[in-house]
Amino acid sequence: MLKFIQKFSIVFRKVFCLWFLKRKKLKDFPFQVSFHGFKFKGNAVNLIDYHILSRGCFEPGLTLLMQHIGMSCEKPALLLDVGANVGVHSLTCSTFYEKVISVEPNPDLVKRLHELIEINDILNISIISKALSEKPGTANFTMPPKGNLGVGKIDNKNDLEGDSLEVSIVTGDEIVSSQTLPLLFLKIDVEGHEVSVLKGLNTSLLEHRPFIALEILSVQKTSDIESIIPKNYTIYEICRINKKNFYLMKMTNERIGDLLLCPEEKVDLIRKFVKG
């Protein structure tokens, strides 16, 4: 089935998945397809992989934005992908940044990241198999269900219900300070742990003033983020039109969702996407 699927176009795959491949009923469906010019091995049981198989994309607006900023920067720069998951953004942006650091505490996903790097002969992605927070140590990590590998998270309450494991914690400042390249883009997808991650990057944010992309699901959390980030940042919502088009809109207090935090001195790199 793997060889059968990879021969066909996205249009065929979309129709095939719509009529014959119901993700929630699958027990196992490995595949390999071309994805942004890379080889991508996945399993359609997982939500992110299913999107790539059936639509040829996952979070396309964010992907295009990250690629554009990396391509538009005149100097070699660093991308820090916190909560890298299966490696969608690390992989697709690796040709646009001098170096990519993928941070992922889930050992199953780390294994997949290594495999993707190996089969694509990528030399500029480094993996840190730990979690980020405001101070180093250890924490309980709740493992995600098989059908959605993107919802594993640090459990601040140390609730041991369900599958969990202890993971090592480092700060983002520790990682960034060990690099010689300037941090241009910081992507955070950590299922509610964003504030702690940003607190652990306080020095790096002040020194490098990177673009920051993250998902916020409550107005209260947005206020918390605004209180942490350095001055003279503008917050935009990443608004999707379709899988190839998006725009940025300045955030109001009522807006939540996928956000881009832009330092005012770098706004020219994204001005073409801003509306309103």
DSSP 7-32: TS-HHHHHHHHHHH--GGG-S--EEE
- What share of the chain has pLDDT > 70, as a percent? 90
Better-predicted residue by pLDDT, 18 or 134 = 134
Query: Quick one: tokens of 112?
Result: 């997949």
Phi-psi region of 137 (alpha: psi -120 to 50; beta: other; left: phi over 0): left
Instruction: Give strand ranges (E) for 76-179.
Output: 78-82, 99-103, 125-128, 131-132, 137-142, 153-154, 164-170
Q: For residues 30 and 229, is the Cβ–Cβ distance under 8 A?
A: no
Q: What is the pLDDT of residue 272?
A: 93
Mention every residue, 6+ apart, whose C-beta is less than 8 A from residue 72. Answer: 269
CATH superfamily of domain region 60-275: Vaccinia Virus protein VP39 (3.40.50.150)
Please report which confidence band the pLDDT of residue 255 belongs to, taking 50, 70 and 90 as the band edges. low
- Map out the domains of the chain as residue ranges: 2-55, 60-275
Query: Which one, of 58, 79, 57, 81, lies nearest residue 68 by Cα?
Result: 79
Q: What is the pLDDT of residue 242?
A: 67
**pTM (2 d.p.):** 0.92
Please report which confidence band the pLDDT of residue 254 belongs to, taking 50, 70 and 90 as the band edges. low
Q: Residues 92-108: pLDDT tens digits?
A: 999 999 999 999 999 99
Please report which confidence band the pLDDT of residue 153 belongs to, taking 50, 70 and 90 as the band edges. confident
**Residues forming beta bridges with residue 236, ordered by sequence position:** 250, 260
Query: Which one, of 86, 84, 98, 94, lies nearest residue 120 by Cα?
Result: 94
